[in-house]
Amino acid sequence: MNIVNNNTDIRSNQPLDAYWMPFTANRQFKQSPRMLVSAKGMHYRSDDGRSILDGTAGLWCCNAGHGYEEITNAVARQLSELDYAPSFQMGHPIAFDFAERLKSVAPEGFNHVFFTGSGSESVDTALKMALAYHRARGDASRTRLIGRERGYHGVGFGGISVGGIVNNRRHFGSLLTGVDHLPHTHAPEHNSFSKGQPEWGAHLADDLERIVALHGAETIAAVIVEPVAGSTGVLIPPKGYLERLRTICDRHGILLIFDEVITGFGRLGAPFASDFFGVKPDLFTTAKGLTNGVIPMGAVFAQDAIYEAFMGGPAETIELFHGYTYSGHPVACAAGLATLDIYEKHKLLTRGSEISNAWEDRIHTLKSAKHVKDIRTVGVIAGIELNSREDAPGKRAYEVFVKCFEAGLLIRVTGDIIALSPPLIVEEGMIDEMVETLGQVLSETA
Ligand SMILES: Cc1ncc(COP(=O)(O)O)c(C=O)c1O
């Protein structure tokens, strides 16, 4: 399973206190750290010299796997040529090249790309675009934003306001005003052990009509959802659900935003979730796979009609008072262009469609494993929900995460749900290895 090579043990007694780690139990981690020191292909290497199979593409971001020389070289070349350039009232060619290339992989009609530095920034950007779009069209009463329970849209104030994960919200005050939420679509009592889109639950989209009736359509700017909710534990949209959201948004002049930060760039076996599900939003957000995770970057894709709504005033007017110091960063653009070359060369934006059946079949063999309560799969994503320990939700899955790491497999857990999303270069034998390790660890976990 895991390759132990003690010759490469580079553990050190380095001080750990200064780094305040994100989304981490700092004190627990620093007592017993898990350190990754290098990566190549489908594997990380830990500081004690073990090979760790990457079951999560890092953090849903290294869609092509790790350690591509082509990306390294492109980044190095760009650094030596133009390390940074401002993007406000200035330009540099590679940002225009990258936007043009992205347009060529995006669903038809998404011909405009706004660069950000992360998924959270992409979300805030898309929400602000939606608000400003209505205003630009003389519809300034549309200020309300609708998210969804259990949604994850990053950690900016916009994202946590429309997001629906309680721990990401409860510590941070009153958040944005004028936000409402659709119900989540998690319904294991109807849809357990689903492969692909579950049958039950399209009607949950109709709750948008209730929200419209409550607030008035003329107050609502946009609805934002993840096409597949990832961070909350893999919730796959029921058949017909996204179509219904689209129809209701159209009926009431509400913009639909898809947060494709994890579904973008091949995760479902199609370039984007809107290709996979056949439903087009007005705006969609990306990050992560945009640069294969190697340099932080995000991008918001806008339909022509959205962009054009901003382009009506005098030409010397700044149309959108928004942007980041690192929008269109030349080095990130270089990484992104090299990433697109790799996706193209290895056909990774659609490879998921070739392996998703094998993925699904093998993952679902864990149905009989100890503690397993539900399994959900779509594209190259799996959610494996465990029965929680009484009075200790999340503890069992955390233990499974630690034991898997020790056994040479990186998984991700949220509450008592395991999420798997390996790089899209994953081979069937590696899927077997993941299933075997996970099954073994589950059998040894109380
Ligand atoms: C759907 C979605 N939106 C936004 C984000 C935030 O991205 P970032 O962590 O790059 O800010 C994430 C991160 O996991 C995500 O899954």
Pairing of strands 43-46, 417-420: unpaired
Query: In 3-state terms, what secondary structure has residue 426?
Result: coil
Residue identified by tokens 């553990």 is 11
Whether residue 1 is predicted with pLDDT greater than 80 in this model: the reply is no
Q: How many angstroms separate the alpha carbon of residue 8 from the centre of ligand 1?
A: 33
pLDDT tens-digit profile of 337-381? 999 999 999 999 999 999 999 999 999 999 999 999 999 999 999
**Among candidate residues 206, 241, 262, 203, the one with its CA nearest the CA of residue 381:** 262
Strand partners, 385: 374, 417
* Separation of CA 153 and ligand 1 centre (Å): 6
Q: What is the pLDDT of residues 108-148, one digit of tens each?
A: 999 999 999 999 999 999 999 999 999 999 999 999 999 99
Q: What is the pLDDT of residue 6?
A: 44
Res 4 pLDDT > 60: no
CATH topology of domain 6-64+347-444: Aspartate Aminotransferase, domain 1 (3.90.1150)
Q: Whose CA is nearest to atom 7 of ligand 1?
A: 119
pLDDT at site 241: 98
CATH for the 70-345 domain, from 3.30.1490.20, 3.90.1300.10, 3.40.640.10, 3.30.420.10: 3.40.640.10
Whether the pLDDT of residue 441 is over 80: the answer is: yes
C-alpha–C-alpha distance, residues 412 and 442, integer Å:
14
- Please list the residues that pair with 384 across neighbouring strands: 375, 418
Cα–Cα distances in angstroms (integers) from residue 388 to residues 2, 28, 392, 415, 416, in the given order: 28, 21, 7, 9, 6
User: Cα of 259 to ligand 1 centre, how many Å?
Assistant: 8
Matching residue, tokens 């009509």? 209
pLDDT at 269 over 90: yes
Share of the chain above pLDDT 70, in %: 98
Tell me whether strands 179-182 and 144-148 are parallel, antiparallel or unpaired.
parallel
Average pLDDT of the chain to the nearest whole number = 97
Cα–Cα distance for residue pair 84/426, rounded to 1 Å: 35
Predicted confidence at residue 13, as pLDDT, reads 82
State the average pLDDT over residues 285-305.
98
Helix ranges (H only) for 137-187 are 157-162, 166-169
Give the per-residue pLDDT at 2.
41
* Sign, Cα dihedral of 234, 263, 348, 354: positive
List pLDDT tens digits, range 145-192.
999 999 999 999 999 999 999 999 999 999 999 999 999 999 999 999
Q: Give the domain ranges of the chain.
A: 6-64+347-444, 70-345
What is the CB < 6 Å shell around ligand 1?
118-120, 123, 152-154, 226, 230-231, 259, 261-262, 287
Residues above pLDDT 90, as percent of the chain = 97
**pLDDT over threshold 90, residue 442:** yes
Is 321 a residue whose pLDDT tops 80?
yes
Residue nearest to atom 13 of ligand 1 (CA): 154
- Which of 209, 270, 284, 278 lies closest to 237 in space, CA to CA? 278
Taking the whole predicted model, whether its pTM rises above 0.95 is answered as yes
Q: How confident is the model at residue 305 (pLDDT cuts 50, 70, 90)?
A: very high
For ligand 1, the distance from its centroid to the CA atom of residue 154, given in whole angstroms, is 4
